[in-house]
Chains A and B, each alone.
Chain A
Amino acid sequence: MKTRKVAAFLATIMAVSSTFVGCSNGTNSSSNNAQDNSGNVTITMVESLTSPERTAVLREIADKYQESHKGVTVNIISPPLENADTKITQMLQAQQDVDIVEVRDSTLTQFATNKWIAALEKYVDQWDEKDTLTTSAKEAMKTFQNTDYLIPYGFYHRAIFYRKDWFQKAGLEAPKTWQDIYDAGKKLTDASNSKYGYSFRGGSSGYQYADTLYWSYIGVEELANPNAGYYTKEGNGKTIFTLPKVKEALHFYKSLFKDVSPKDSVAWGFSEMVQGFVGGTTAMLIQDPEVIATCSSSMKDDEWDMVAFPAGPSGEAVSPNGFAGWGLTSFSKHPDQAADFLLFLSNSENNTYFAKKYSTIPIHSDAAEKDSYFSTGKFALYLKTEEQPDVYKYAIQPQMYEAFAQYKTEVDKKYQQYLNDTITDDQLLKWLDEFWTEAYKAEGKKW
């Protein structure tokens, strides 16, 4: 009996101690090899939108930097794509040895509010290449509280990728509108042969596609500000989710899923939807230009082509002006050295090279002169859309709200419930409306 009592006591201790594990505040920043005795410096950089190809390009640029800066080592950390931002947040919170971090339009507010990333004015003002930055790049840098918290590495403008061979065989024209996508998709869908019209995204960040539909239905003029795409110009925090046209767009969104997309796509994220298109399951895909590289390497030239983002009933084709860039951590042990590398990474030569390899829209205005890649071929499409500003417009979710971070984690589940008929259109729209009305009340007008 005695041994049993001892065992029970030990078990209790273990159980109780395990409940207190979470109670430390976790600021055990280790300083392992940031600087060794010989004065060598290690710069650690964490990326978020990871892909093996992209990491290789970054490594190449980092190696070039190391060659010209003896004693400096650049260490690149690439967490798996799906949870990269969560992982990065945890690293920043624990103040691990990180000097440069990938900041996305969707994480900027969170990182800057928590003071994990530093203002870059000190370095940017003295930068000899700051004058060739495009207007979009300068605007992106000043997104949060008009302070430079990042240097963007490129922009993601979405376009339609489609199977040229399937379209020709079926006698279809390249899609120009959302309705075209549905009609062509319907013709090309043959579920018994696992062929579908459209690479639907119902998994992580799927809501962004619903949003672009809403905006294409109502038109950007109805919005309070294109950077706060959930609020109408009526003011007082009135959201777009009560508008009848938004409900119509939501119904269309569901019909895209039900009629022309694979059933599994309710859970598809970036890699699944691209895989679906490249692997020959779906005929159309709406994605960022970074997919150009994947398509070029995995498909024959006569199999695919690109057209501009589809327009909605308003006549406008509204997509997010997405961007991402590099920020400097506020707790970096070698801020000057890290900033120097950050500027090296962002200079016209390296950025243009990166943008070409990774197919993003470059940040320096002399990129097209430097490389004809950006004025010819698939990329020429983006130059054409720039020439029609009354059709091709940009809008984005109100990412400057702190509530956005929470929204991001809950909204996909709600849409999935709607797509699976667990909740109705009214319930979903009510949830969206209440969430953003509440956010406006709590945080006020932030644009």
Chain B
Amino acid sequence: MAFQSYNLVNINNIKWIGFDNFTNLFSGSEQDDFKLALWNTVKWVFISLAFQFLIGFALALLLKKKFHGSAVYQGLIFFPWAVSGFLIGIMWRWMFNGTSGVINDILIRMGILDQPFGFLANTSTSLASVIVANIWYGIPFFTIMITAALRGVAPELYEAADVDGANVFIKFFKITVPSIKSVLMLTVLLRVIWIFNFPDLIYSMTNGGPGGSSNIITSLMMQKVQSLDYGAASAIGLLCILFLSVYTIIYLLFTKFTDSEE
């Protein structure tokens, strides 16, 4: 389909057009939208990932030790992961609402803003807003995985380090990180692919708008499906697979995943 002019608007006129769908994306009428979406995808994936990873890791370290009410606390932290992406999108859309959203209300009460700001309605803040929602959504995954991994680290290692007089940082970088390295890599690898393939939030919060400013390439692909241009949507889909395959290969080579296992 990616090499066809396949548009449901006129299905009597479906024909092979070679690479036209692709050239259209890179140099034709779609190039501005596509390049913006591509750059947005990079920001969307790496900013989301960095914060999800750091905050998730920090929470996992806090949850390592059992404390009074830690089970309840754990349950609360995992909550976002259990909710569907669309629901989260709708929830955050209300929170960011430019007339009666709770975020605007808090900022006005704190005296930071003097009148409501349309976070999702502004081309310069729409992407940042959906990234914030995505960070919130993705933290639990890291917390769950890393907590599980941390509990598997033998306590003897830390006792031995204490005997040697190692400080917290040395223990962290010499014991904790190396012990759970494979889990960290696997989760990061998985998360990049998942975040890349996660247009649900964008779809329900901004639908890529306003003016395409919060589109990533997967949400652009959804829009192409909605506008019934299946040829262009398939072309983008094929590119997604290509990007992700290349990414996976590079990542595995770079981290020498195979070596660390054998």
Which residues of A are found within 8 Å of B8, using beta-carbon distances?
89-90, 93, 114
Determine whether A15 belongs to the interface, using a CB cutoff of 8 Å to chain B. Answer: yes
Decide if B99 touches A405 in the complex (CB within 8 Å): no
Decide if A194 touches B12 in the complex (CB within 8 Å): no
Complex Cα gap A93–B115 (Å): 48
Complex Cα gap A194–B105 (Å): 11
Could you count the A-B residue pairs with CB atoms below 8 Å apart for me: how many are there?
A: 114
Complex Cα gap A203–B211 (Å): 10
Determine whether A192 belongs to the interface, using a CB cutoff of 8 Å to chain B. Answer: yes
Complex Cα gap A405–B9 (Å): 6
Determine whether A132 belongs to the interface, using a CB cutoff of 8 Å to chain B. Answer: no
Decide if A417 touches B228 in the complex (CB within 8 Å): no
Complex Cα gap A115–B13 (Å): 12
Determine whether B123 belongs to the interface, using a CB cutoff of 8 Å to chain A. Answer: yes
Determine whether B22 belongs to the interface, using a CB cutoff of 8 Å to chain A. Answer: no
Complex Cα gap A89–B252 (Å): 43
Complex Cα gap A414–B210 (Å): 9
Given A18-B241, A22-B237, A409-B226: A264 touches B98 (CB 8 Å cut-off): yes
Complex Cα gap A15–B243 (Å): 12
Decide if A281 touches B99 in the complex (CB within 8 Å): yes
Determine whether B167 belongs to the interface, using a CB cutoff of 8 Å to chain A. Answer: no
Q: Which of A22, A113, A114, A267 contacts B120 (CB 8 A)?
A: A267
Q: Which of A15, A115, A264, A267 contacts B241 (CB 8 A)?
A: A15
Decide if A113 touches B210 in the complex (CB within 8 Å): no
Decide if A267 touches B234 in the complex (CB within 8 Å): no
Complex Cα gap A410–B121 (Å): 18
Q: Mark A90-106, 1 if CB is under 8 A from B, else 0.
A: 10010000000000000
Determine whether B10 belongs to the interface, using a CB cutoff of 8 Å to chain A. Answer: yes
Q: Mark B78-100, 1 if CB is under 8 A from A, else 0.
A: 00000000000000000001111
Decide if B226 touches A83 in the complex (CB within 8 Å): yes
Which residues of A are found within 8 Å of B258, using beta-carbon distances?
4
Determine whether B245 belongs to the interface, using a CB cutoff of 8 Å to chain A. Answer: yes
Decide if B99 touches A113 in the complex (CB within 8 Å): no
Complex Cα gap A419–B122 (Å): 10
Decide if B226 touches A265 in the complex (CB within 8 Å): no
Decide if B226 touches A422 in the complex (CB within 8 Å): no
Complex Cα gap A23–B108 (Å): 53
Which residues B227-262 have CB closer than 8 A to chain A?
227-230, 234, 237-238, 241, 245, 258
- State how many angstroms separate the Cβ of A207 from the closest Cβ of chain B: 13
Determine whether A284 belongs to the interface, using a CB cutoff of 8 Å to chain B. Answer: no
Which residues of B are found within 8 Å of A113, using beta-carbon distances?
10, 12
- State how many angstroms separate the Cβ of A19 from the closest Cβ of chain B: 6
Determine whether A368 belongs to the interface, using a CB cutoff of 8 Å to chain B. Answer: no
Decide if B10 touches A402 in the complex (CB within 8 Å): yes
Complex Cα gap A410–B117 (Å): 26
Complex Cα gap A402–B227 (Å): 13
Complex Cα gap A422–B36 (Å): 12
Determine whether B213 belongs to the interface, using a CB cutoff of 8 Å to chain A. Answer: yes
Given A262-B99, A422-B123: A267 touches B209 (CB 8 Å cut-off): yes
Which residues of A are found within 8 Å of B225, using beta-carbon distances?
86
Chain A, Cβ-Cβ closest to B11: A114
- State how many angstroms separate the Cβ of B215 from the closest Cβ of chain A: 9
Which residues of A are found within 8 Å of B245, using beta-carbon distances?
15
Q: Which of A4, A262, A267, A402 contacts B9 (CB 8 A)?
A: A402
Which residues B37-86 have CB closer than 8 A to chain A?
none
Decide if B227 touches A422 in the complex (CB within 8 Å): no
Complex Cα gap A64–B116 (Å): 50
Complex Cα gap A115–B8 (Å): 12
Complex Cα gap A15–B247 (Å): 14
- State how many angstroms separate the Cβ of B53 from the closest Cβ of chain A: 25
Given A19-B238, A410-B227: A265 touches B11 (CB 8 Å cut-off): no
Determine whether A320 belongs to the interface, using a CB cutoff of 8 Å to chain B. Answer: no
Given A86-B226, A93-B8: A422 touches B120 (CB 8 Å cut-off): no
Complex Cα gap A267–B96 (Å): 13
Given A410-B227, A416-B209: A264 touches B97 (CB 8 Å cut-off): yes
Chain A, Cβ-Cβ closest to B98: A264
Decide if B210 touches A420 in the complex (CB within 8 Å): yes
Decide if B209 touches A203 in the complex (CB within 8 Å): yes
Determine whether A172 belongs to the interface, using a CB cutoff of 8 Å to chain B. Answer: no
Determine whether A48 belongs to the interface, using a CB cutoff of 8 Å to chain B. Answer: no
CB-defined A-B contacts under 8 Å, sample of 10: A23-B1, A86-B227, A113-B10, A262-B99, A263-B98, A264-B118, A265-B121, A402-B9, A409-B226, A413-B211
Question: Which residue numbers of A lie inside 8 Å of B, CB to CB?
Answer: 4, 15, 18-19, 22-23, 83, 86, 89-90, 93, 110, 113-115, 191-192, 194, 196, 202-203, 262-267, 276, 281, 402, 405-406, 408-410, 413-414, 416-420, 422
Task: Identify the 3 closest CB pairs spanning chains A and B, nearest first.
Answer: A263-B118, A409-B227, A417-B211
